[in-house]
Structures are given as structure tokens and as C-alpha cells.
Amino acid sequence: MADAEEPEKKRRRIEDLTKKMAVDGGHRDGACDWDGRWNHVRKFLERPGPFTHPDFEPSTESLQFLLETCKILVIGAGGLGCELLKNLALSGFRLIHVVDMDTIDVSNLNRQFLFRPKDVGRPKAEVAADFINNRIPGCKVVPHFKKIQDFDESFYRQFHIIVCGLDSIIARRWMNGMLISLLSYEDGVLDPSSIIPLIDGGTEGFKGNARVILPGMTACIDCTLELYPPQINFPMCTIASMPRLPEHCIEYARILQWPKEKPFGETSLDGDNPEHIQWVFDRAQERAAEFNITGVTYRLTQGVVKRIIPAVASTNAVIAAACATEVFKIATSAYIPLNNYLVFNDVDGLYTYSFEAERKDNCSACSQVPQDLQFPPSAKLQEVLEYLTDNASLQMKSPAITTTLEGKNKTLYLQSVKSIEERTRPNLCKTLKELGLSDGQELAVADVTTPQTVLFKLNFTA
């Protein structure tokens, strides 16, 4: 009889505990902190240990800071973002904002566990925030269904730490540039209070990395740009006039023909729509036949249009765990943070390695030093443009180049605005001398990879 009662008592105890925890929704205020809820966190913060920071003093204040004050911004609510939100919320961080411009696709459901089939088509940020808020009592996740570029400096200044779970190097670099722009200096000395730590995680298949960036102090994203595989971008002049590769033909159909012909009305090109991909594939084949180019396939068209990056759930989990751990270390000052780059690889077995990435003295983002451009006067502007996009240390996507001539601001080339691109396109075939540029001339270059304009100094070579 006693043996029969044990399972029933256990079932009731679990039910009571579940109700008390409000696991499936209900209470969202601080009053739901039941006894022992944060014991797992207190073990790290309220007692000394062999791995704690040398200056760490155990106290109850650190936990209260996590629960009541510390504001975290998570950028991206996809594979990494879902894991990050879950980890941070369960670690005691309650004031979390999440930014993501994407909506949920059915292909996300195999690994982005905060989403369900009923959520397909809805904004990722909103669904993820609702799930965490309903699942974890007391947590207040604020969603933003926007681009990171839609926010100004005042928005980013409010956060203690920013965590990136992005699949775009361009977005990483923009965020990196924003945090660098928030730094303040007094007599050339960096004000530590203006530093907002950036924790960045990235995955591709079975490989991943996590890094800790203290803007102005440690290596930034652009300092180690060579570590990222260059994103393939083709100069507009080549796409429009001199295609040589099948990718040029696909990009011609995607960038130039789609907005001009509008085959599906005002609808934007959707890489997940088979009809859209088929239309681009057909136009690309026509373009390839015109220039005797082979190799345009439906699969290649998909890859070029969608910029496909493979994703594995277990890799996301490992890297998100590493990033969340670094957030906890920095927020509590209880442990020494990663210094400053972690590599993870489980393609064959399991391999991890950490090293200190070094700052570049001439980094285009954080060095505050004008960059040198060395070209002969006979070089064409197209060559300068290709250098800005192909150079491993710059890897710009669509640079806009302006300068000052005879006291007036002049746009040499700008790709993002159609009318200005058409007007300035002839400049690409002109030499620097023909454009009126001189040795020592300053060129201001704007690009989607940074919120700031990058200054270059033109040095003529023989």
C-alpha cells in the first residue's frame, strides 16, 4: 500500500511545485520569487571560490543587480537568440530587450525552440519575448521588430551589456561601429564609464566562436576582419557591363532586373518563394547566354539570392552558453572574462581553443587614424571601389565615396540611391586624375557596415 502511495505523492508534489513556479504562464512580477529559486546563482555570487576574480567579494548585492537593475540587449532572435534569451532569463537577468527584423519561417522550427507552427509569419522578437515572459516568472523581455539601424545612440546607451546572435557580418560591424561611436575621451584618455561591453557569438554548421569586446580597449570586430570569410560582393559596374561569372548574371537579375521589371508587382524578392527563384534563374540564364557564360543553375541561384548559411542546433546551444556565461561574468564581476576569443569545432571530435585577438593600430573602426589609400593617378575609381570591397581588412559592401573639390562636397560614387548611382556610374571608368583628385586628398567613405563615415587619405604612387 505504501509503495502505491509513493508515485501519487510524487505526482502531487510535482504539480504543486509547477503551480508555484507558474511555469506555463501567470505571474510576471517579482513576488513570484519562491524560496530557493536563485540558489543556483547564489552559489556563484555569495561565496568565494578557486576561480573567482581576485578582487571579488561575495555579497547579496550582485544578485539584486541582476534581478532589478542590469539591462541586457540581445540582437537576433534566431538560432543563437533563442538560446541566449533562455539562458539569460534562467540566470537571473530580467530586464532584457531583443531586436530582430525577421519573421518566423517554417524552416526555423527545427532548432529555434521558442517558436511553434502557429507562429509562422509572426515577428521573431515578439514571439520570443512572449514565450520567455510567460514561461519564466518575473522576466520582462521587451521586443523590437526593427533593424538595428533604426535606433539612435540614446537607445543603445541604456544597456549595460549587448549580446549579438547574428548571422550577418555586416550587422556585426555596424553594431561594433555604434558602440565605438559611444565612447568618450577626455584629453585623449578613454572614459571607462562610456564602454558598453559587446559579447558576440557566431556559428556556421559545426563550427562556432564567441568573443568578448570592450570597445576602445580590446580588439573590435574590424580589427579581426580577416578571421571572417569575405562576403562575396560584385561591383555594380561588372554586373551591369562586364559579367564574367554565373554569379554576375544572377546578381544582375536580382539587383537590376527585378526592381525594373517588377514581375510580381511591388512584392520584394523572397528567397523562399520558388516562383521568385525560378524567375531570377530564367533571367540569369538569358543573361549568361548573351555573354557565353556557363554554370547558372537553379541551386546556385538559390545560394546567391539567399546567402545560405548552414545551422546546427547543438552548435548554437554551445556558443550561446559561452556567450551567456561571459555576460554573467561581466555583469557580476565575479569571474575573469574570456580574453578574448573562443573557437569551437566539433566536425571531427570536439575541439575548443581560446586566444587573445590583438588590436590593430590602423583599424578602420577603432584606431581613430585616417586610412591610407595608395594608387597611381592613372588608377580608375572602379579600382578604388574594388579595393574597398575586396581588401580583407575592409570588406565593405556598397561603399559611397565623397570628397571636397574646390570647397564643395562632391559625390564620386553612390550605389544605394538609383538616380545618384546612374549619374555617378560614369565616374567609375575615369582615372583619379581625371576626377580632379590630388595627392593627400581626403576621401570620405560611407558603407552599410558602419554607422560612421570612414576617412581615407589618398597617396599617389609612381
Mean pLDDT to the nearest integer, 255-274: 87
Helices then strands, each counted (H, E), the chain: 15, 15
Predicted local distance difference test score (pLDDT) of residue 119: 94
Residue pLDDT, tens place only, 127-140: 999 999 999 999 99
Catalytic residues: 237
Say which range, 20-34, 285-299, 328-342, has the weakest mean pLDDT.
20-34
Question: CA dihedral in degrees (318, 323, 328, 331; nearest 10)?
Answer: 180
pLDDT band at residue 288 using 50, 70 and 90 as cut-offs: very high
What CA–CA distance (Å, rounded) separates 123 from 121?
7
Predicted local distance difference test score (pLDDT) of residue 372: 86
What CA–CA distance (Å, rounded) separates 350 from 371?
40
Q: Could you identify the residue written with the cell 564620386? A: 412
Residue pLDDT, tens place only, 439-452: 888 898 999 888 88
Whole-model pTM: value is: 0.76
Say which range, 186-200, 217-231, 262-276, 436-450, has the weakest mean pLDDT.
217-231
Taking the CA of residue 198 as centre, how many other CA atoms within 13 Å lie in the half-sphere pointing to its CB? 30
Residue pLDDT, tens place only, 390-416: 888 888 888 999 998 888 888 999 887
Predicted local distance difference test score (pLDDT) of residue 145: 95
How far CA 186 is from CA of 189, 194, 217, in Å, comes to: 5, 11, 15
Centroid of chain to Cα 189: 29
Predicted local distance difference test score (pLDDT) of residue 345: 94
Q: Taking 90 as the threshold, does the pLDDT of residue 14 lie above it?
A: no
What CA–CA distance (Å, rounded) separates 386 from 234?
9
pLDDT band at residue 23 using 50, 70 and 90 as cut-offs: very low
Residue pLDDT, tens place only, 63-72: 999 999 999 9
pLDDT band at residue 26 using 50, 70 and 90 as cut-offs: very low
Q: Taking 70 as the threshold, does the pLDDT of residue 231 lie above it?
A: no
Q: Taking 60 as the threshold, does the pLDDT of residue 24 lie above it?
A: no
pLDDT band at residue 27 using 50, 70 and 90 as cut-offs: very low
Predicted local distance difference test score (pLDDT) of residue 82: 96
pLDDT band at residue 240 using 50, 70 and 90 as cut-offs: confident
Say which range, 28-42, 275-289, 448-462, has the weakest mean pLDDT.
28-42
Mean pLDDT to the nearest integer, 282-310: 86
- 383 versus 19: the higher-pLDDT residue is 383
Residue pLDDT, tens place only, 304-361: 887 766 678 999 999 999 999 999 999 999 999 999 999 999 988 899 999 999 998 8
| Chain mean pLDDT for the chain | 87
Predicted local distance difference test score (pLDDT) of residue 11: 64
Taking the CA of residue 207 as centre, how many other CA atoms within 13 Å lie in the half-sphere pointing to its CB? 6
Number of C-beta neighbours around residue 87 at 10 A: 20
Q: Could you identify the residue written with the cell 511555469? A: 23
What CA–CA distance (Å, rounded) separates 432 from 412?
10
Rounded to 5°, angle at Cα 157 from 394 and 42: 110
